[in-house]
Amino acid sequence: MADLKGERELIVKTVREFVDKEVIPVASDLEHRNEYPHRLVAQMQQMGLFGLNVPEEYGGAGVDYTTFAMIFEEISRGWLGLAGVIGTHSVLSDVLVRFGTPEQKRRFLPKLASGEARGGVGLTEPQAGTDLQNISTTAARDGAVYRVNGSKMWITNGRHGTMFLLLARTDPAAQPPGKGMSAFVIEKGAPGLTVGRDLDKLGYKGVETCELHFTDFPVPAENLIGGVEGQGFKQVMTGLEAERLNVAARGLGIARAAFEEAIRYAQRRVTFGKPIAEHQSIQIKLADMATHIEASRLLIYSAAEKKDRGERCDLEAGMAKLFATETAAEVSFEAMRILGANGYSKDFPVERYYRDAPLVVIGGGTNELQRLIIARNLLKKYRDETS
């Protein structure tokens, strides 16, 4: 345990120093230009951050989920868009580690761990976001390949990524619909895949978010994850459990960055003859912000520890995601109010945190969905056997 703690502290310290020295000084300028951070991504690749959740035998770091969350918190503290580059990449890696065949793991995981392949997730469609069972993209077997037809949207890494987790219907007549869905690893290169427009977003800039269109796009049959049709919905939902932890950690990073900017500013800004940090109204805001941040951190670590034990943590991950991302939205707004007009100015990073926060509230499963997941799990946990 001591060795794990020491290793974790070293990894997180390395990432924190990278964020402080390399990311924060350039994040706002790159974000305002909506410029892809090629240099920073290359540095993350050299640091091994693309292989965080890939086992060591495949060239990854194989970190535990608590360390994983801490790293996402640090990167998001610097810039949410940069965290997005490895966020969905890690979901693809997680699904392959859990459900891939031995041959699939040998073929794909080393490329993902090194960053040679940059991953993404193709789930959402115009009529299917929260309701994934409503997807219409199909994958029909045609000899040695599956032919994919349909469209996906809100694809992070859609333009610069090269390998994606794709959920498609292999049995459109199956009931319930989830039983007719399969998950594939798809790679760019063959004809039939078109990367559409980059979606123009309020925040979460730098990392591209695109549409993907498929017309008889061939996917080798050996890329069917697990080698069995009809398992894709379950595989993807398990991967999203891990994603909710990293989205929660991203929310924590945003909240922490906004709080640190606000409390620093409050000690420097003077009104009525004293720093505003000495005014009770500001102190109350700072106390609430810090308390919510600490509670978010503990919820995330609790869920991560449960997942590390190999237990289901959809209840805990849902709670962590809900609370931490709502905290990001609340704290970024309170930070703006503490900075006043300066918080609304692009000269200070708080406006960026305020624009980024809604993404984590919506992404990784909306917080409305999280509440339903939490409630359903609570009803199972506290089932009234007499009713």
CATH of the domain at 154: 2.40.110.10
**386 in any annotated domain:** no
Range of the domain at 123: 119-230
Our count of domains for the chain comes to 3
CA distance 187 to 315: 33
CA distance 71 to 144: 40
Mean pLDDT, the chain, integer: 95
- Give pLDDT, residue 4: 73
Name the pLDDT band for 268 (thresholds 50, 70, 90).
very high
| Each residue's pLDDT tens digit, 197-219 | 999 999 999 999 999 999 999 99
- Examine the fold and report which residue of 205, 230, 255 is the final residue of a domain before the chain moves on: 230
Nearest to 50 by CA among 109, 110, 115: 115
Nearest to 83 by CA among 104, 69, 97: 69
Q: Provide DSSP, 123-170.
A: --BTTBSS-GGG---EEEEETTEEEEEEEEEEEETTTT--EEEEEEES
Contacts of 143 (CB under 8 A, 6+ apart): none
pTM of the model: 0.95
What does the pLDDT average to over 148-155?
Answer: 96
CATH of the domain at 288: 1.20.140.10
Domain identity same for 93 and 133: no
Domain identity same for 241 and 371: yes
| Each residue's pLDDT tens digit, 295-309 | 999 999 999 999 999
Domain identity same for 132 and 162: yes
Q: Provide DSSP, 180-195.
A: GEEEEEEEBTBTTEEE
**315 in any annotated domain:** yes
- Give pLDDT, residue 261: 98
| Each residue's pLDDT tens digit, 96-117 | 999 999 999 999 999 999 999 9
Domain identity same for 294 and 338: yes
Q: Which residues share a beta bridge with 121?
A: 165
Nearest to 100 by CA among 275, 272, 232, 240: 232
- In the chain, the amino acid numbered 142 is D
**215 in any annotated domain:** yes
CA distance 1 to 323: 29
Name the pLDDT band for 387 (thresholds 50, 70, 90).
low
What does the pLDDT average to over 73-81?
Answer: 98
